[in-house]
Structure 1
């Protein structure tokens, strides 16, 4: 494995050198940088077509997926979202979402097989469905964790404690491990889903619905796990 970056010491001086060396190229830059990288790589690949795999792992996909159409057929392309954090020790059983490029669905299957060979599980999803889901499963929790942490710090709530409080403030602090630029990007691109969530806050939780959907066994298991998370 080797790396290319315009902002740090890297193994390659430019994208063309990386393309010539690699069989699999994974773009892990910011969402602002990836479109330019894809356009540059498409030009390079058109001049030097070869059997290779190229995909990004950006958090949001809608603005990127169409840029893959410029690659020659020899290069297999799709967009991928690993649904796990950097702390995993193995890809075994981990979920990868694969977003096919319209008209190049066979490429997505090729990349899915590559991910399966690493031990991953694969689900296919459209860019639109993916981005809406990410707004809810990433954007809304980020917003909730950060706003509760802000509320807690402004009101000195740590002195009152409580396990639910510690759980939420621990999560809020963990979100701050990401860069301010990435957090701002997630919140901005999740604005619609966050606003939908805020509208839901005006309604009482439907406990009857929830208790009908979640089994007693799931509740007890979650309760035990909840306390383990807060163990020192």
Structure 2
């Protein structure tokens, strides 16, 4: 175990533990991409971090890399003030039930899953002394820190510990937005499920049209859709699938997208090129002219930067 490192400057204001101490014990259950990210976040902030993962090899590798302790889930949770459940969506309710049983009144249990209604319903049924909340960081493990990042908080059973935790996350630079579980899932159906489904559909279509791609040429728009596709394919396909399946509003959004595509296809197949101009007139009301011009300029700046490499 390495010696306790001094927290980096940007975290010095946020080193007050949620139970009143200068630092706190944080248990992270599940150290895949985001679990490991949060373990490192709190380790760098000077907290004592303990980790657990169902995959023993990964658990030990992460513990060694970060210089933290590892152990059984219930054991490390029992010792901690903050317990972060970072397991797949399908495994979260069972894991939360198991961990909640060993926690006392001076603990806060949170999950970081992308879908909330099922998990919050599970939390509401639990008989535990611990405070509970469901949070969703709207970014992946590629983020360097919390500054400017949005995190949605869904309070379930909350008091002083939750308030302190929310304050601390804000002090670390995050934009904390509080809402209900159903509000979260409806919002994420559009903000998360729709772009995931759109990019996946684009890549699948592209893959089926390889015989059309006789030369390696790109337009700025195509180049940036490719960029989004490549980034998309680096993350967990299991997570993408579970987000679509467990968010009950995702199917509504997918069906709406398909309806829009079918409507456009019918009009264009009938030779109605004017349908695009008609839709543009309505869609341009969504943004100011300044916003659109700025986006167009940025698109070309990024495209030409890529061409220079």
After TM superposition, the score normalised by the length of structure 2 is 0.66
Shift of 1:150: 1.8
Contact kept, 8 Å, 1:35 with 1:67, in 2: the verdict is: yes
Give the equivalent residue in structure 1 for 2:39. Answer: none
Residues 115 and 213 (structure 1), Cα distance of their counterparts in 2 relative to 1, 3 Å cut: same
1:79 to 134, 158, 166: 134
Q: 1:195 aligns with which of 240, 255, 258?
A: 255
State which structure, 1 or 2, has the greater radius of gyration over its C-alpha atoms: 2
Q: Mark the CA change 1:196 to 1:12 in structure 2 (over 3 Å): closer, same or farther.
A: same
Q: Classify the secondary structure of the residue corresponding to 1:87.
A: coil
Residue among 266, 279, 286 paired with 1:213: 286
Once residues 61 and 166 of structure 1 are traced to their aligned partners in structure 2, the CA distance between those partners, rounded to angstroms, is 34
Which whole-Å deviations, capped at 9, do the CAs of 1:46-71 have from their partners, x for residues lacking one? Answer: xxx14122101101011100222325
Per the alignment, residue 170 of structure 1 pairs with 227
**How far did residue 20 of structure 1 move?**
2.4
Q: Distance in 2 between matches of 1:21 and 1:168?
A: 46
The alignment partner of 2:239 has SS state of helix
Deviation, structure 1 residue 116: 1.5
2:94 to 33, 36, 40: 36
Match of 1:4 in 2: 52
Change (3 A) 1:180 1:213: closer
Contact 1:55 1:78 in 2 (8 A): yes
Q: Name the counterpart of 2:74.
A: 16
Aligned residues: 226
Matches of 2:135 and 2:223 in 1, distance apart? 34
SS of equivalent to 2:254: helix
Is the contact made by 1:76 and 1:110 (CA closer than 8 Å) also made in structure 2? Answer: no
Match of 1:119 among 152, 173, 180: 173
CA distance in 1 between partners of 2:121 and 2:165 (Å)? 17
Partner of 1:130: 184
Give 1:109 shift.
4.0
- CA distance in 1 between partners of 2:281 and 2:237 (Å): 39
Q: How does 1:141-180 map to 2 (within 5 A)?
A: 141-156=195-210, 157-158=212-213, 159=215, 160-180=217-237
1:92-126, Cα deviation, whole Å (9 max, x unpaired)? 2321101122xx35475454223223222211111
Tell whether the 8 Å contact from 2:131 to 2:158 is kept in structure 1 after alignment.
no
Structure 2 CA distance for partners of 1:25 and 1:84, relative to 1, 3 Å: same
Alignment deviations for residues 29-54 of structure 1 (CA, whole Å, 9 cap, x no partner): 10111111111112112xxx141221
Q: Output the aligned Cα RMSD.
A: 2.2
Secondary structure (helix, strand or coil) at the match of 2:87 reads coil
- Using the size of structure 1 for normalisation, the TM-score is 0.86
Flag structure 1 segments of 5+ consecutive residues without an equivalent.
Answer: none
Aligned 8 A contact 2:51 2:71 in 1: no
